[in-house]
A = this chain, B = another copy of it.
Amino acid sequence: MAKDIFESSDTIRTAHPLRYAQSVTFDELLSLESGGILPSVTVAFETYGQLNEAGDNAILICHAISGDSHVARHNAEDEPGWWDILVGPGKPVDTNRFFVICPNLLGGCRGTTGPGSLNPATRKPYGPDFPTITIGDMVEVQRRLLDHLGIGQLIAVIGGSVGGHQTLTWATRHPDRLRGAVALATSPRLTSQALAFDVVGRNAIHRDPHFHGGQYYDQPQGPAVGLALARMIGHITYLSPEAMNLKFEADRLQPREVAMEFEKTFSVGSYLGYQGTKFVERFDANSYMTLSLAMDLFDLGGTPEQLAAGLHPAHCRWLVLSFSSDWLFPPSQSRDIVNALVRNNAAVSHCNIQSSCGHDAFLLPDDFDRYGEMIRAFIHNLVSASTGLGVEKEEPPGPTSIFHERRLDYDRIVELIPPGASVLDLGCGTGRLLARLKQEGRGRLVGIELDERKIISALKRNLDVIQADLNEGLRAFADKQFDCVVLSQTLPAVRDVAGVIAEMLRVGSTCIVSFPNLAFHKLRRILAEEGRAPRAYGWLRDKWYDTADIRFLSIADFEDFCREKGFHIQRRIALNTETGGEITEDANREADLAIFVLGTTPNAEGNPPIESVPT
């Protein structure tokens, strides 16, 4: 096997000393959301780069359940950090430009106050007396740290998994303290399945006879078996089934010889036993229980309405990333967050990264070529709000004209959209149309696109772009949320034409649809005289058996369809893209490209719908 099976996103996390960690103690009382209090709190943290004089170049990184402040190496000799791929000089979170702060979590065991810390009231470790804490409490401690460091508004808060929960909490509790939020592999609250795994893990610790009611610090033995079991369960949930097969299938009955007291029959068993045993050496069971309960109690809303309300205070820009094989924080949950943000008219970009790495994907290099570039572009946009990174290598313009390569339809579509109008572009590609509308000044602009690479390009143009499949509808969007919804060039590739157009008319006040006209006289002639399926050398260049187009229609067909479905045609522009001219007479025969403006009512000027007399 190419990879050592004992490698994991966590293997590097041995209990190395945090040589570069600083700490600060706040002696003011911390009132917790549970009603409990902590008389004083120490925060361990690490920083990278230089805070500028204005104090406005800072980025906060929030770690996940078993992480710590050591997000990245401080130099070549330093121990590896857990997110070295993301944070460092020239990296997407560029420490040459930004001041990066990563604090250890409240409740943890790597320097910040937690159950293993001394309780000043008893001069013994808190143990079971450590109060229940929430993600909100963790964020409150981080806020105190930022105040202490003299940081006003952050450029961004970034976090994955429970780090994503902190990011969501920052954006909603302290909306003025951040310009952007990057939430990876996270959720509005845990699924019942994810909760269930945590409950079993806590039960294993709690019912370990060496738990001693949580006051095991002065005992010869702590709940090592329970904590190891909890960690084993955790490890299974961090990996995808594919990743596990890749690691263990070839040698399933050849376990690694490891000194441990767990079952060694199977390779996967020796891996889990090893991970569990190592974890006990570096983590405190009470901290694990405290942090996992805080994660489980996090709840930004269980319904779309609750979630939209929960996210309502936020007014930063968002980048929400999920990973296709993550079953612990499944992509549908990131989608729920995105849908709620969309509903709130928040500026959000989203991609569900195709990955085989499961929940761990956000820590691993495998898919970093995509999610790393998205984060890089997004952060760049936060500091250079007017211009993006720029699309380095523009793809050749796709043909829109059926006979010509130039996108003649863009000129007309841009003209059709009034200044200030908000626009949703379905199948926006790299964002060429939206970028043009942005240059020329329009309202809110949002693109929908499936392709990951095109999403990166659209982000580089400083656009908000959301990954979605049109055939699944526009459920995320509210009625009449946009002035204009555009479906240009994409109609023939849509399976559920009536459904998509109905959704466009629900979401937009007007819709613009463009498509090539099958009944153009040169296309008719191909079938009539050559006896072959019509083609042309532009838009319709692909052959019948390999074109992405699956719907073939004429202007007359589309008008019949609109009548039948009750879609009102407000305007029709018929073009001959060979001559570049607009066709007004006998359009169904003389035009090769049609642009329709649709509405749910007859056109705005009160004119009757177009009655075409097609031939």
Which residues from chain A sit less than 8 Å from chain B, CB to CB?
191-193, 195-197, 199-200, 202-204, 206-207, 209, 225, 228-229, 232-233, 236, 239, 241, 244-245, 247-250, 252, 261-263, 265-269, 272-273, 293, 296, 302, 327, 330, 495, 497-498, 518-519, 523-525, 527-534, 543-546, 550-557, 560-561, 588-589, 614-615
Nearest B residue to A550, CB-CB = B550
- Known contacts A192-B244, A192-B252, A533-B554; A197/B545 CB under 8 A: no
A to B CB contacts below 8 Å, 12 in the list: A191-B245, A192-B245, A192-B248, A196-B232, A200-B272, A203-B229, A495-B550, A518-B533, A531-B554, A531-B614, A550-B550, A552-B552
> In whole angstroms, what is the CA distance A169 to B200 when docked?
34
Interchain CB contact under 8 A, B195 and A252? yes
Q: Which residues of B contact A249 (CB under 8 A)?
A: 192, 302
Q: Known contacts A199-B232, A544-B561, A550-B550; can you find 14 more A-B pairs with CB under 8 A?
A: A191-B241, A192-B267, A195-B269, A199-B262, A199-B265, A199-B266, A200-B232, A200-B236, A207-B261, A265-B296, A495-B550, A519-B527, A527-B527, A530-B614
- Known contacts A244-B191, A532-B614; A553/B557 CB under 8 A: no
Q: Which residues of B contact A555 (CB under 8 A)?
A: 531
Q: Which residues of B contact A545 (CB under 8 A)?
A: 497-498, 551, 553, 561
Q: Which residues of B contact A263 (CB under 8 A)?
A: 199, 202-203, 206
> In whole angstroms, what is the CA distance A273 to B273 when docked?
24
Interchain CB contact under 8 A, B524 and A518? no
The minimal Cβ–Cβ distance linking A546 to chain B, given in whole angstroms, is 7
Q: Which residues of B contact A327 (CB under 8 A)?
A: 241, 327
Q: Which residues of B contact A241 (CB under 8 A)?
A: 191-193, 327, 330
Chief secondary structure at chain A's binding surface = helix
> In whole angstroms, what is the CA distance A250 to B532 when docked?
58
Q: Which residues of B contact A232 (CB under 8 A)?
A: 196, 199-200, 203
> In whole angstroms, what is the CA distance A244 to B532 when docked?
54
The minimal Cβ–Cβ distance linking A350 to chain B, given in whole angstroms, is 21
Nearest B residue to A493, CB-CB = B550
Instruction: Give 8 closest A-B pairs by Cβ, nearest first.
Output: A550-B550, A519-B531, A497-B545, A192-B244, A199-B269, A192-B248, A528-B528, A531-B588
Q: Which residues of B contact A268 (CB under 8 A)?
A: 192, 195-196, 199
Interchain CB contact under 8 A, A199 and B614? no
Interchain CB contact under 8 A, B533 and A207? no
- Known contacts A296-B266, A302-B249, A561-B545; A203/B273 CB under 8 A: yes
- Known contacts A241-B330, A551-B544; A589/B531 CB under 8 A: yes
Q: Which residues of B contact A551 (CB under 8 A)?
A: 544-545, 550
